[in-house]
Amino acid sequence: MKTVQHLSLAAAATLSALASLSAHATDVVVYGRLNATFENVRVENGHSRNVVNDNASRIGFRGTEDLGGGKAVIFQIESRVRVDGSDSGTTLATRDSWVGLRTPQGTLRLGRTLGPIYYATYDHISMHNHDTGYSSDALLSSAILGNSNAAGGRMNNTIWYTSPKIADFTLEAAYALLDEAPVASGSKRTPHHLGLVANYDRGPLHAAVSYASTQNTTDLDSAAPIRFNNDRAVTAGGSYNFGPLVVGALFERSKRSTLTEDLTRNYWRVALMAPVGAHEFHLNVGVAGDYSGTDDTAGKQYTLAYNYNLSKRSKVYAYYTKIDNDSARSTGGGGAYSFLGSPAGLDISSVALGIRHNF
């Protein structure tokens, strides 16, 4: 009888130990998105091309180790993948990748990321295709993404703090050393970015106000005295789900340094989504004004889209998007439009059919 009791106690102790180990084990989740379109892209001079375009497909790993007491080590490793035959930018950890610590006092992340401003504002006005591909936001302020060439739009060497939620408010702060060599020989100025965000989330409402400052990423004058840029932006935006209609909007006031003055610009964008069963109808409009003291540097962007949800994870969709540049404004030739170069005043449009699957 004693032997059975000893065995029972041993089994209970073993199960307790296993439960304790399980509670502290690292939980890893594999996730991702595959998103591709067939598109006809046209420029105002009549040239067009047909493309199969990858829309920011990715694969990632998220992990959590529960430390007890409301504390956990968290991490994410996310990489770009492409389904359009190109292998450009598909090395490991090309997208948001970081390690962090979550505590009752807040969450701290260290690594590479778009930063809290993008996710608190721009991410809520790109409901039709998650701000990817040819219909992505062409009017986005360079201050928000750190204006970082080295990071490809993401900021390297970032420390990002998120406060606990108090009365529906959270505060976020990010500081990034952008890992770009100073342009001027002998200069000790380090390119860096500061982002501050106040979020309010209650039920169907998300609202945020942010401030961004990105400095020293561009040498404006190689002759002495050297002057570097200081791009700044104040943004307010968010979204509200009314049920039959989801509305997202933002307003941004940005300031860009030149050799002789600071140029300011106003930018607003509105996004509407009307879900009807498995159907979604989208309208997205963005308008950027002229930079102060300049003419014909404004731009507009329009997108009309339709999504059909095959399941909670998969959808087919179509959209028409157009970028209408004033004569002195350049799209920049970056991202999806790199094949165009960077001519000023070029209007661009695209008609697309796509498939997206999240896993």
Q: Is 38 helix (H, G, I), strand (E, B) or coil?
A: strand
In angstroms, the Cα distances linking 117 to 36, 235, 252 are 26, 9, 12
Q: Is 309 helix (H, G, I), strand (E, B) or coil?
A: strand
pLDDT digits (tens, 9 = 90+) for 74-103: 999 999 999 987 765 567 888 999 999 999
CB of 210 closer than 8 Å to CB of 193: no
Element (H, E) at 233: strand 227-241
Q: Nearest to residue 298, comparing CAs of 307, 288, 308?
A: 288
Q: What is the C-alpha to C-alpha distance for residues 93 and 85, in angstroms, rounded to an integer? A: 20
Q: What is the C-alpha to C-alpha distance for residues 71 and 103, in angstroms, rounded to an integer? A: 4
pTM of the model: 0.83
CB of 158 closer than 8 Å to CB of 110: yes
Alpha-carbon radius of gyration of the chain: 24
CB of 272 closer than 8 Å to CB of 283: yes
Query: HSE-up of 2 (CA within 13 Å, CB side)?
Result: 0
Residue that is written with structure tokens 């939620």 in the block? 165
Q: Is 126 helix (H, G, I), strand (E, B) or coil?
A: coil
Q: Is the dihedral of CA 103, 104, 108, 109 positive or negative?
A: positive
Q: What is the C-alpha to C-alpha distance for residues 222 and 227, in angstroms, rounded to an integer? A: 8
CB of 346 closer than 8 Å to CB of 326: no
Domains and CATH numbers, the chain: 26-358 (2.40.160.10)
The pLDDT value recorded for residue 336 is 45
The pLDDT value recorded for residue 161 is 98
Element (H, E) at 23: helix 2-23
- Tell whether omega for the bond before 225 is within 30 degrees of 0, i.e. cis: yes
- Tell whether omega for the bond before 182 is within 30 degrees of 0, i.e. cis: no
- For the chain, residues with pLDDT lower than 50 are 1-11, 13-15, 17-19, 21-23, 149-152, 333-336, 338
| Exposed / middle / buried, residue 25 (Cβ in 10 Å: 0-12, 13-18, 19+) | exposed
Q: What is the C-alpha to C-alpha distance for residues 256 and 213, in angstroms, rounded to an integer? A: 10
Q: What is the C-alpha to C-alpha distance for residues 79 and 91, in angstroms, rounded to an integer? A: 7
The pLDDT value recorded for residue 354 is 97
Q: Nearest to residue 136, comparing CAs of 4, 307, 1, 334?
A: 334
User: What are 301's strand-pairing partners?
Assistant: 286, 323
The pLDDT value recorded for residue 151 is 40
User: DSSP label at 85?
Assistant: S
